[in-house]
Amino acid sequence: MVSSWYYEPKEEGVMSIHQSGVEALDRDALSNDLPLPLYLQLARYLRGQIVSGRFGHRDALPGEREMAERFSVSRVTVRKAIKELLDEGLLQQRQGVGTFVNRGTSPYVEQRLSTLTSFSEDMTSRGLTAGSLWLNRTVTAASPEEALALGLSPGATVSRMQRLRTANGNAMALEMAVIPTRFLADPLEVQGSLYDTLRRKGFTPHRALQRLSAIQLPAEQAEQLGVPEGSAALYIERRTLLEDGTPLEFVRSQYRGDAYDFIVELNLAAPAREVNR
């Protein structure tokens, strides 16, 4: 499930776990042939049900015994799968009452890594309202790192924009976008979407190269994102190019690790496809 949300309304006709209990769970979801332990397969399956919106916030999970029977696994396997999701904060246990879905108060986003979209487009496609809190915008000389990334000569000027990106008012990411002034002379021109502004000026983002790494947020960034210092986050560098290959933007961002999943689609390599034909 790529474009799904915790907040996605349930499609008509899709039974929620709450309505239909264990019957709504696919009894063939797990396989002994996969090189992944059954409890991790089960955790992955249940996570998918939560992320796709089939489990509603606060829906009760079917009992341990029922799930063990449904998936033909031991109760230990079910317990270990639930423990995974409890650790991730996707489930909550109430003593003597049961296990419940916990979608929390902040939206959870999956972003497909193979499609070039803007933050605003990503949020809108999920029925959320994208927002920005401007932290800083200036015109300055590019730093050596920025000049290298953007193919600029030393001393060239850039528009520098630092924003806190929000979805339905919840902080999602910090972003520092740098654009050569020949494409954007004045950062104050950007009102809502940066990509919309660039497109209007005839500079359409065509292709991007991204580098992702895991980080722990330092105090200041953690505070801006409203999470504890040292929380896990994804550091992403994006270099966006025009159709002719000219670098258009260089962006460094920190995405909240608890709010974002990046999904990569992998296709069978060409030679392997031929052999299997």
Q: Which is nearer to ligand 16G, 119 or 183 (CB)?
A: 119
- Give the nearest distance from C-beta 191 to ligand 16G in angstroms: 10
Q: Which is nearer to ligand 16G, 17 or 234 (CB)?
A: 234
- Give the nearest distance from C-beta 14 to ligand 16G in angstroms: 29
Q: Which is nearer to ligand 16G, 52 or 132 (CB)?
A: 132
Q: Which residues bind ligand 16G (CB under 6 A)?
A: 118-120, 130, 175, 177, 193-196, 236, 238, 249, 251, 253
Q: Which is nearer to ligand 16G, 58 or 182 (CB)?
A: 182
- Give the nearest distance from C-beta 272 to ligand 16G in angstroms: 30
- Give the nearest distance from C-beta 110 to ligand 16G in angstroms: 13
Q: How many CB atoms lie within 10 A of CB 224?
A: 16
Q: Which is nearer to ligand 16G, 78 or 251 (CB)?
A: 251
- Give the nearest distance from C-beta 118 to ligand 16G in angstroms: 3
